[in-house]
Chain A
């Protein structure tokens, strides 16, 4: 049985994994770079080891350093979190060779699902619908023209080794086919040193809906229903919810079965996510599988009532799943908002810096997964995710109202955050009506930017606060170092205190 887990990650996810370790009586080991000495995961863990300079390719991504630390700390397992080494087949394999349990799937599953063409082939064999397109790389221009004509325009040309939006081209017109193909190939070559591309039908009004699955070593696979992730900005998820407002029970059951079939086809073990692209008429197609815990996993935990990290650890221990499919149901509605250190007024430029003050929302139905605290400096080396705010409500409407309330009380000063942008989304009619797809933010751009709610009074209050802060500061500077006029430091201290109301 696992007694000590090294968490090969940082930020909110490292803290989140350690929370479960603590509940299970498992000792947690943190690793940290130069920039992360003061980070919360180092403080929360039972043990912490320094693993190198701040850039992640010199610390969190160096397999040798992580393995060495696991051995030194005598950790019997490694939890990779998400990002960094979580979907690295070499790392999974290396752990196995070194006799350390990797809390995640085998290298075979990771590579099967990591290469998009192999994944497409495996999935098609399992009878799961994929977006119409090719399972073979396009070999020549003639081949491309023939294949694309068969599928019908518009299509997407994608790099086999792709990710992060690189090597992808949308083709709408016939004369654009050849130039787009060449551009995608050269971009893929530059980014991944592999110029294999394939082609897929382009879905006009796409919804991004994913299914959470759990699989044990004994061939049992269950799904924990869907997550709707269509609110995206630059292919990055912003808000997720479950159940999806688009879904109905029949399609949900069918998609769930297919998600389980995908996991089985990949000989999967652990927690994973099957992503589907769904059109307005509920035609759905397999998109890809994420062979790790997702950022947005808490909404599933909240609605289904299962701690996914605990299940991951149990599975890694070789135990059978604690739940059967028929025992699971969705209770109420959960929404997650991702809070990023980005400035929504300046085209979302990153905003690293020192947190002057933070007050986190509390109260019924609110969960806050974060890692920053007052005085903490958010480093510029890593992802801008500060925290995730998760709310639960009996109904979708109640969950939206609760999220608005929670965002209203969530205050972070010192850096710019996306909190007010998220509040605007909660007030957007298309979101309230559950009528949205991945074009939501683009479509509602004007509404989301229009934030001039109380310009006159707010401006005046801002001026007054600045004025008073400035005059108090001058008064404070003048009185320091001198004792009170009547010679009592206690009295002057009290007077100053009541003046600035500390």
Chain B
């Protein structure tokens, strides 16, 4: 079985060539790896490759079939691009440009909203301030924009990646 896997924005073709117990032979873009893989704890895989021991932590992302993967010193964003994922992605691209929604990468509380629907803002203007864990972060627009919709109000508790302000 073969899959396309995207790591930090770059796609690779990954294919399972053979499997016996927890010994796997996997090809990544034609390079063959013989590995011994065991899920040792929930979300933690022990991978032995050329007798080197790797601990790989998998955290499932917000979107289906996405992972944040941590090795000892590195952290990667990974998504599995099967037929379904590719289809959904192509549809999403048509729907909305990611840049059209201002969101915060972490959950928090809305401290202040500095704009209202219809406002014209300039590149670099702060539109919303979010507080999480005693730290306030300001979110700015990258280009000159018009505020299309404000989805939250001051004092609201918000999720990470939730659209807060729609701009155009």
Contact = CB atoms under 8 A, between A and B. Distances in A.
A356 interface: yes
Interface in B119-135: 132-135
A352 interface: yes
Contacts, number: 156
A466 B58 contact: yes
A453 B73 contact: yes
B35 interface: yes
Contacts of A350: 106, 108, 132-133, 135
Interface string A417-430: 00010010000000
Contacts of A349: 105-106, 132, 135, 137
Contacts of A458: 54, 71-74
Contacts of B70: 413
Contacts of B57: 357, 411, 413
B22 A501 contact: yes
Contacts of B37: 464-465, 468
A79 B54 CA distance: 44
B106 A453 contact: no
A452 interface: yes
B44 A411 contact: yes
B52 A345 contact: no
Contacts of B43: 356-357, 413-414
A356 B49 contact: no
Contact of B39 (A342, A453, A500): A500
Contacts of A382: 133-134
Interface string B2-37: 010101000010101000001010101001010101
A345 to B, nearest CB: 6
Contact of A451 (B5, B73, B134): B73
Contacts of B109: 380-381
B45 A359 contact: no
Contacts of B137: 349
A3 interface: no
A349 B33 CA distance: 36
A467 B74 contact: no
B152 interface: no
16 contacts: A346-B105, A349-B137, A350-B135, A380-B109, A380-B157, A384-B133, A414-B43, A457-B54, A461-B54, A462-B69, A462-B71, A463-B5, A465-B69, A467-B14, A468-B24, A501-B40
Interface of A: 341-342, 345-346, 349-353, 356-357, 359, 374, 380-384, 408, 411, 413-414, 416, 420, 423, 451-455, 457-472, 500-502
Interface of B: 1, 3, 5, 7, 12, 14, 16, 22, 24, 26, 28, 31, 33, 35, 37-45, 47, 49, 52, 54-59, 65, 67, 69-76, 78, 80, 105-109, 132-135, 137, 157
